[in-house]
Structure 1
């Protein structure tokens, strides 16, 4: 528990209620990062360690500190200095700011679409975050029971056709499913993990600026998988060649 919260009793319900109303700051054990123009960003490994520790607090029903939100909002209005970029699914159950321990305003640069697909918009977003905001860590996070992955598996296994842009959106995921020969229990979850890994590879191959920063040791790009049932984030291969 952080000092400002001692004497109170915040449970997961209170944590989510505060997040829903916007009254949420850094959780126990993790102070808000410095504002733009102050301290340098953390190293890629330090940023990853923050996410891992934050997710542990989330799983353990950590208490949330609600103090100082108004001041924090005024501070970050002057400039942002996020320390992690997270590409994840638009699924309403997948909220990075909560999953990683209740990070506050100005800490996380988030890109979301159905199926956490790496496209031109996402690549541009990541390049902006790493080049101009100097974010040291990029996480591509898939999740359990992803609707986009389920649709891709149906397209691959059953030939199901999807109208509009959905079919084009899931093409890359369907390609992974077609190539996977083991289609028994756990098939969609395995495809989701493979899709996250493929997303990392695409970022490294298709973004020269990000690839340069990774080569220089200033940025790390890692795949991850979020379990809806237990709240745990599994970081997959942490070093993936381009």
Structure 2
């Protein structure tokens, strides 16, 4: 994304997503040899994107961004472990990136596995179990907050992931509290291609 753009990182990504949905990408110019050469010595991404490893959710494409525009971390179900936190902390502290965007998505297999674990006691094999176990508490929390559909559960998982980043990282928490860093949870629709901001349901429930 151009460095002289005065919009917020999230607003820029929203505009890029609109271009992607409408089939009018402008990112090619920032993916070629000239742009590659510009980045040899340093990087200055405008946003950190924590997304799912699902092959249908390539964040640089769905936000219509080029080389060096995004600092991307992807894991199944955007679960957070030490490596994820360390990667994000590096971008916040060393690269001074001012924004984190968390991208959950419809049809997420990791969330589906966590739901099956909660509802049916179905435990996945191998290390997939660890992924589901990390998401399962968010499934329970989402339902307590009022989530009724799979999509609402995905959104609440994204919201809870944003909270988890601050809970587990004093560096991220301090940056958020100081106003140097924003955290935006979102949900991507496989059907429409749109990325929309997720809203914590508990804020909508009566006190």
Q: Structure 1, unaligned stretches of length 5 or more? A: 1-31
1:170 to 123, 132, 147: 132
1:65 CA drift (Å): 5.5
- C-alpha deviations, 1:57-80, integer Å up to 9, x for none? 111111445447111111101111
1:82 matched to 2:41? The reply is: no
Stretch moving more, 154-163 or 61-70:
61-70
Correspondence for 1:33: 2
1:135 matched to 2:97? The reply is: yes
Equivalent pair of 2:139/2:157 in contact (CA under 8 Å): no
Q: Secondary structure at the match of 1:154?
A: helix
Correspondence for 1:157: 119
**Larger CA Rg, structure 1 vs 2:** 1
Correspondence for 2:178: 216
Correspondence for 2:54: 91
RMSD: 2.2
Structure with more of its chain in helix, by fraction: 2
Aligned runs of 1:45-124 on 2, under 5 Å? 46-64=8-26, 66-67=28-29, 69-101=32-64, 103-124=65-86
Equivalent pair of 1:116/1:142 in contact (CA under 8 Å): yes
| TM-score between both structures, scaled by the size of structure 2 | 0.88
| TM-score between both structures, scaled by the size of structure 1 | 0.76
1:111 CA drift (Å): 0.2
Correspondence for 1:229: 191
Distance 1:209 1:162, change over 3 A: same
Rounded Cα–Cα distance in structure 2 between residues aligned with 1:155 and 1:136: 36
Correspondence for 2:203: none
Q: Secondary structure at the match of 1:115?
A: helix
1:175 CA drift (Å): 2.1
Q: Structure 2, unaligned stretches of length 5 or more? A: 201-207
Equivalent pair of 1:173/1:191 in contact (CA under 8 Å): no
